[in-house]
Amino acid sequence: MPMQTKINTFNGLYHQADRLRPSGEDDAYVMKQALKDYKNKEKIDFAHIAAWEVVRTNQKWSPIPLLNEESSDSGRKRKSSDSGNYARGSPNVEISSGFDLPDINEDPSPPPRRQARKDKKDKGPSLTNENPRDITHKFEEYKAMKKEIMEIKRIREEKYFTLADEQREALRQTMFDKDLETYNRPTDNVHPAMLAITLARKREIAKKYGWPCDF
């Protein structure tokens, strides 16, 4: 289920719980009841509270009348989808499993496209009138961008350490090859004045690697 659909569903359940709030109960009760109703309906916990808090203040996400809800002098009544009878609104009223939440993002009277574009061009961007779909989309883009940046940073660090290890290993191998070549180089043609220095260097190499040395 897309994130937008989940937020739509939870928002409807929250306003439903707010309407049925018992006297004396605070907003914490409404939130708790909405989370409970969402889990009962979707069989999973609602995991987008932060995104919902961002968009809930937008006018298009404000409370709207429930389907078949009617008012009377004695209190609110709701028509049951199963029996056709009316039941007074209370915290114990059960919502039919077939109850479809309205799409709170649909504007019943959207302005003409040309006029809306002209207004936007004249007045510039407005956060107050921003479509909640755009807000949610930007929120998702921000999370995706942050995740991508963290992944790029991790890959760069891995490449850096891998390259450093490879360079150290290449240097070690190069030094080993040079030492091995020097150690195995014959001294028959070495000038007598350089013989002592050459043999001393070979003894250093032998000691460095633990090689046998009888000279």
Each residue's pLDDT expressed in tens, for the chain with a length of 215 residues: 688 889 989 899 999 999 999 999 999 999 999 999 999 999 999 999 988 888 887 766 666 555 555 444 444 444 333 333 333 333 333 333 333 444 444 444 455 555 555 555 555 445 556 688 888 888 898 999 999 999 999 999 999 999 998 999 999 999 999 999 999 889 888 998 898 899 999 999 999 999 988 88
* Cβ pair 62, 72 in contact under 8 A: no
> Comparing C-alpha atoms, which of 138, 112, 170 is closest to residue 51?
138
Residues in the chain: 215
pTM greater than 0.85 = no
**Distance from C-alpha of 152 to C-alpha of 156, rounded to nearest angstrom:** 6
Neighbours of 203 (CB within 10 A): 14
Q: In what order do the strands lie in the sheet with 75-79?
A: 69-72, 75-79, 86-88
Handedness of CA 188, 194, 200, 206 (dihedral sign): negative
pLDDT value, residue 39: 95
Exposure string of 108-120, with b = 16+ CB inside 10 Å and e = fewer, is: eeeeeeeeeeeee
Pairing of strands 75-79, 69-72: antiparallel
- What is residue 170's predicted lDDT score, i.e. its pLDDT? 93
Q: Residue 203: which region, alpha, beta or left (left: phi > 0; alpha: psi -120 to 50)?
A: alpha
Report how far residue 80's alpha carbon sits from residue 77's, in angstroms, rounded to the nearest whole number. 9
104 near 64, Cβ under 8 Å?
yes
- What pLDDT, on a 0 to 100 scale, did the predictor assign at position 209? 93
The three-class DSSP label of residue 99 is coil
How is residue 185 annotated by DSSP? Answer: S
pLDDT given for residue 79 in this prediction: 39
d(CA 32, CA 46): 11
Helix (H) or strand (E) holding 57: none
DSSP structural state of residue 64: -
Question: In the prediction, which pLDDT does 89 show?
Answer: 39
What region, left, alpha or beta, does residue 96 occupy, with left being phi > 0 and alpha being psi -120 to 50 degrees?
beta
